[in-house]
Amino acid sequence: MKKMYFVIAVFLLTAVGFAQGTITGSVVDGDFGDPLPGANILVQGTTNGVAADFDGNFTIDVSQGSGTLVISYLGFISKKVNFTSVGNIGTISLKPDAQELEGVVIVGSGIIDLADDRQTPIAVSTIKANEIREKTGNWDLPEVLKSTPSVQNVKGGGFGDGQMFLRGFDQTNTAFLLNGQPINGMEDGKMYWSNWSGVLDIANTIQVQRGLGSSKLAISSVGGTVNIVTKTLDKREGGFFQTMIGNDNYIKTTGYYSTGLMENGLSVAAMLGHWQGDGYVDNTGGQGQTYFLSFGYVPNENNVFNFILTGAPQWHAAAGSDDLRTFLDNGRKYNSWNTDNVNSPNTLNGGAYPGGRNIYHKPVANLSWDLTFNETSSLSTVLYGSIGRGSFAQLITDRNTGEALYARGSNNNHNWSGLVSNFNKKINENLDFNFGADVRLYKGIHFRDVREFIGVNSVSASSNYNGGAYELTNAYGGINPWNITFNPNDDHSQRFGYDYEEVINYAGVFGQLEYSKDAFSAFFQGSASTQSHVRTEFLNAANEGQADESEKVNNPGFNVKAGTAYSLSDQNVLFVNAGYYSRQPYHSDLYVDDRNSNQLNPLSKENQKITGLEGGYKFLGDVISANLNVYYTIWDNRIVYSSNDTDDDNIVDEFTQSSPLKQVHSGVELEVFARPADGLNFQGFVSVGDWKYDGDVTTTTSDENGNILSTGDASYIDGVKIGQAAQFTAGISGNYEIFPRFKVDANWNLYDNLYGTTNFGDSEFRNQDNRGAIKLPSYNTIDTGLSYRLLVGKEENRSIQFRLNINNLLDEEYLESSQDNRHVEAGDDVWNGVNTDNRVRFGYGRTWNVSMRYNF
């Protein structure tokens, strides 16, 4: 009998030892919940391993009922997970490693509207920290985003002067959010990347939401929304030190250190950087600093506080535009604003004083509080504020002799504060609800003054506010952004040209309801807001010493968005979204001449009307994944202002207003991802757009003093193609890990159907017999890079990262924009089908940067 028991026991043990089964699960990014396709799952102590599919799911056969799985993914911390039985092991979250700013706690997550927070899909592309850091180099954010569908980057000429276009809409109609805080200009929606040059050093994720997006705020997301999510709290102690060199004497050094989350719940982090360079275009050099301070406090599991202070004081010279023939004769690096041998202490590049410099400092403070009531309820609140102090300094010369007289500053200062708060409630397992408030208070201060005296000791001026004629005898700030910040010009008697202020106050409420069950999901979003404007005129005031205040303008606005999705299977998802915006006009639209007069524009009081429709299909395969999106956007009842320098003295003296204007943007976007082998990844996209004006407009032209020169109906605009961004784009990107921690990558981009800027004030454009905008030559560029991470010591988090970037590898010569639309006539001088009388800007040729980063 004992022998029988022994035999049975041996049999059972043997059976258990050789039992086979299957373990399933999914691998996701621990910070954002994104699937990690291609993550490696290995049974510890064996060679048995599989890779996760594009939805992060995996299935692995095991030969015993217990053991350990090792889950790893390039750029993330590996995790070991024990199993004691076969079956579903659940969701496994991996945290970014030191290269990815390890263990970051996302504070204000209830404010940051990422697409992954919503079940119903949108058209979206996400760029992670590793790619941001590797491909940024000495560029601004738009350059990093150019390999996503319907995005085009126009570099502009000087540091930070780049522009991004999304589905054919410029930056004033694309919403940019920093940790949930709106950062587009309150007056005109513009973005100046020179003010945000440090953001990419601290970015964890950048998410481009094309079209309606997932943001609940009433923001300018006509083309889409760009969410920038930065570092907040680090869980572990560590940091990095990085140095970079690049073309045209560019050098940048950055250091970062964090205490990590200490036992007392406190966390402190700081970053400081400095950059300088000569600029790709002649005499467009600049320099600046970047800084970032973060103070976090986690008193308990229900409360997380974080305070951030960041800024990027800088100055950089600007590049003037010129006709195509001048560039062909002088080279694409030619800068028409060069003025040689100026006797100035602020000379640059061997005695040349650039015709214009941008000098600015915009420190931003942000206080976040995440409050968790229970498992189903939470509240996120962000209080923010910024002060902007800066100037565009332009060289003024004697019109007869060409002698340099002084540098004139066009100052754009502001005081801005705001609050965003959002309450989240999970009503049941199928229904989620949130609502919140958005308040913004803004004061803009605009004037001209003297930045620097060069050939004269004073400048004569006249204004009613200052009692007639007076002299400007003080110079402010030079080219030092720190001087401008702490020594601003608050003296109206030392201002001229224009001198006015505006107060813009905004208050809104928003909410979202989302239902999700099985394969079906649907959402509804809505917001309502009111915005007030008051303009105060100093220079042209009626009485001495008394400013003129305009009447208060109040504009209500709202938006509604809804959508639904249905999963045909685990790999196939269909969705459709629709939305309508009643958007308040920008402050710059409200006045006939917002620089010199309180006179309201009667055509600008009505809201702009934006209607968006979009649909999509997602395929999630094991080796190939794809997104297909279609969209149709109408932007109606808008006003366009343009300006001209009629006597070519680099001073704007004529303005044209065209209204009401209607644009229709439609298109198709296809994005494909492939992972044919371990360590090998490909991404490709094609975007086909049809962007044009619909209907005719009324055009009014006035001089610099607001006097109307002409008015009439414009019958030349209907059907004209919208310029500045290519309506057909395509690209292929790939990277291959040749051996552990050594990677090569490259991307190719094609741009076609690119048209000139539709400048309604240009008489040449108005007299083209309805031929519309000129078409520029198509072009393509190739970028490439190499990365290697060398482990240092026994600790995995200590390493040295080497990176090389080469942009426009083949040195393609191309036009990235044209300010004019002069068509080719018989006998015209022509280059690649373009009339050489057009004012254009060439794209950059071959550029490069090399960096070394020590992580600890």
User: 770 pLDDT exceeds 80?
Assistant: no
What pLDDT, on a 0 to 100 scale, did the predictor assign at position 68?
86
DSSP state of 788: E
Fold of 233-855: Maltoporin; Chain A (2.40.170)
Among candidate residues 324, 60, 108, the one with its CA nearest the CA of residue 227: 108
What pLDDT, on a 0 to 100 scale, did the predictor assign at position 99?
36
Q: Which of 116-130, 627-641, 689-703 has the lowest mean pLDDT?
A: 116-130
The residues, ordered by sequence, that sit 6+ positions from 752 with a Cβ below 8 Å of its Cβ are 726, 727, 728, 729, 778
What pLDDT, on a 0 to 100 scale, did the predictor assign at position 102?
39
Q: pLDDT higher for 689 or 232? A: 689
Q: Which of 31-45, 484-498, 716-730, 732-746 has the lowest mean pLDDT?
A: 31-45
Quick one: residue 302, left, alpha or beta (phi over 0 = left, psi -120 to 50 = alpha)?
Answer: alpha
Q: Which of 14-18, 638-642, 776-780 has the lowest mean pLDDT?
A: 14-18
CA distance linking residue 389 with residue 205, whole number of Å: 28
User: 341 pLDDT exceeds 50?
Assistant: no
In the structure, what pLDDT confidence band is assigned to residue 397 with cuts at 50, 70 and 90? confident
Q: pLDDT higher for 691 or 600? A: 691
Q: Which CATH superfamily is domain 18-95 in?
A: Carboxypeptidase-like, regulatory domain (2.60.40.1120)
CA distance linking residue 484 with residue 304, whole number of Å: 35
Among candidate residues 253, 10, 207, the one with its CA nearest the CA of residue 112: 207
User: 6 pLDDT exceeds 70?
Assistant: no
HSE (side-chain half, CA atoms, 13 Å) at 201: 31
Q: Quick: pLDDT tens for 843-852.
A: 999 999 999 9
Among candidate residues 185, 181, 216, the one with its CA nearest the CA of residue 529: 216
Among candidate residues 42, 37, 30, 91, the one with its CA nearest the CA of residue 70: 42
What pLDDT, on a 0 to 100 scale, did the predictor assign at position 100?
39
Q: Quick: pLDDT tens for 575-598.
A: 999 999 999 888 887 887 777 888
In the structure, what pLDDT confidence band is assigned to residue 534 with cuts at 50, 70 and 90? very high
pTM exceeding 0.85: no
In the structure, what pLDDT confidence band is assigned to residue 5 with cuts at 50, 70 and 90? very low
User: 14 pLDDT exceeds 50?
Assistant: no
Return the domain boundaries, the chain: 18-95, 104-230, 233-855
Mean pLDDT of the chain: 84
Q: Quick: pLDDT tens for 166-204.
A: 999 999 888 888 888 888 888 888 888 888 887 888 887
104-230: CATH number: 2.170.130.10
Q: Quick: pLDDT tens for 399-425.
A: 788 778 888 999 999 999 999 999 999
The residues, ordered by sequence, that sit 6+ positions from 109 with a Cβ below 8 Å of its Cβ are 117, 370, 380
| b/e 597-616 (16+ beta carbons within 10 angstroms → b) | bbebbebbeebbbbebbbbb
In the structure, what pLDDT confidence band is assigned to residue 13 with cuts at 50, 70 and 90? very low
Mean pLDDT to the nearest integer, 699-717: 71
Among candidate residues 624, 630, 746, 745, the one with its CA nearest the CA of residue 686: 630
The answer to whether domain 18-95 and domain 104-230 are alike in fold is no
Residue 512 structure tokens = 């979202």
What pLDDT, on a 0 to 100 scale, did the predictor assign at position 620?
83
What pLDDT, on a 0 to 100 scale, did the predictor assign at position 399?
79
Q: Are strands 431-453 and 496-517 parallel, antiparallel or unpaired?
A: antiparallel
| b/e 97-128 (16+ beta carbons within 10 angstroms → b) | bbbbbbbbbbbbbbbbbbbbbbbbbbbbbbbb
Q: Quick: pLDDT tens for 89-120.
A: 888 888 654 333 334 455 656 677 766 666 77
| b/e 348-379 (16+ beta carbons within 10 angstroms → b) | bbeebbbbbbbbbbbbbbbbbbbebeeeeebb
User: 768 pLDDT exceeds 60?
Assistant: no
What pLDDT, on a 0 to 100 scale, did the predictor assign at position 327?
94
CA distance linking residue 92 with residue 771, whole number of Å: 59
Q: Which of 117-126, 442-451, 505-514, 771-780 has the lowest mean pLDDT?
A: 117-126
User: 336 pLDDT exceeds 50?
Assistant: yes
User: 322 pLDDT exceeds 80?
Assistant: yes
Q: pLDDT exceeding 90 applies to what percent of the chain?
A: 45
Q: Quick: pLDDT tens for 36-77.
A: 777 888 888 776 778 787 568 888 988 777 888 888 876 566
Q: pLDDT higher for 669 or 104? A: 669
What pLDDT, on a 0 to 100 scale, did the predictor assign at position 705?
64
Q: pLDDT higher for 621 or 612? A: 612
Q: pLDDT higher for 708 or 499? A: 499
User: 819 pLDDT exceeds 70?
Assistant: yes
What pLDDT, on a 0 to 100 scale, did the predictor assign at position 220?
66
* Phi, psi (degrees; rounded to nearest 5) at 116: -70, -15
User: 141 pLDDT exceeds 80?
Assistant: yes
User: 779 pLDDT exceeds 80?
Assistant: yes
